[in-house]
Amino acid sequence: MDLLNYLQSLGIILLILSLVPLGLHFYKKWTPKLPTSDKIKILAIKPINYKAQILLLEVENQKILIGLTDKGFTFLGEIKDEPSS
């Protein structure tokens, strides 16, 4: 009788462990994939407080500062690279 309980417990553990990779497969399949773009890059994020951040973006080789709050985005300006001498 002990052998039967041992095998039953072992079978349940193996069944549970086999469901983990199956669950991960479906999780990866059903989560939306974000498109990647080489034209827009986030260079830096600086938190101001818990509701506001400043983002430094590079859009088609231009550096742009954007303010992000809970109310939306605000264009703060553009950073121009000065030639080093």
Q: How far apart are CA 29 and CA 54, in angstroms?
A: 34
Run of H or E residues at 21: helix 2-30
pLDDT (tens, 9 = 90+) of the chain, 85 residues, equals 788 888 899 999 998 988 988 888 888 888 887 777 678 888 999 999 989 999 999 988 899 999 999 999 999 999 987 766 5
Task: Please give the model's pTM, rounded to 2 decimal places.
Answer: 0.52
**Per-residue model confidence (pLDDT) at position 85:** 58
Rounded to 5°, the CA angle 66-70-74 comes to 25
